[in-house]
Amino acid sequence: MSMDRHVGIGDLGVVGGGAGVLVTHSLGSCVAVVMYDAARGVGGMLHFQLPESRLNAERASSQPALFADTGIERLVASVVAQGGVPKRSRIYLIGGSQMVVEMQAAQIGKRNALAAKKALWNLGLPLQAEHLGGTVSRTVRLNLATGAVCVFIGGKEMVEL
């Protein structure tokens, strides 16, 4: 029986051995970065809230997974530590919604998505797929046995990436 490993806001999880499930809930403007190396059965998931660590260097030092740039660096390092190879991994981005209409000007979801793409591009890591934007919350599950990435939209609809 596999156990779910929950990844909270400003958190990341990496599992090797090809067993278990990584899951994160309630992605609004936050973005999940999912990385899966099928050859090694290593998967990782990051749930970050803010685009750039320079917004709060002190907080980034204590909680690097809260930010796109430092979180993605930490995710990549953790996947490598488990024996995964990021350059051959499938990488997905999910989330980045505009949840509060009154905060339209801030566009934090869009800024988060762009920051993640920039960080991955800087590392030479291409995206397999993305499920970004809109005005809905999402839950994401990575099945480490199969590599399946499932996105549950608004708690109802399910899409497999």
Angle formed by the axes of helices 108-122 and 68-81, to 10°? 40
Catalytic: which of 30, 75, 140, 151? 30
Q: Which residue has the tokens 């090809």?
A: 18
Cα separation, 73 vs 53, in Å, equals 12
By C-alpha distance, which of 56, 27, 3, 36 is closest to 135?
Answer: 27
| 67 class by beta-carbon count within 10 Å (0-12 exposed, 13-18 middle, 19+ buried) | buried
Query: Is 93 in contact with 35 (CB distance < 8 Å)?
Result: no
Short-list 7, 96, 95, 1, CA closest to 43? 7
Active site residue 150: no
Question: CA 35, 60, 8, 125: dihedral to nearest 10 degrees?
Answer: -10
Catalytic residues: 30
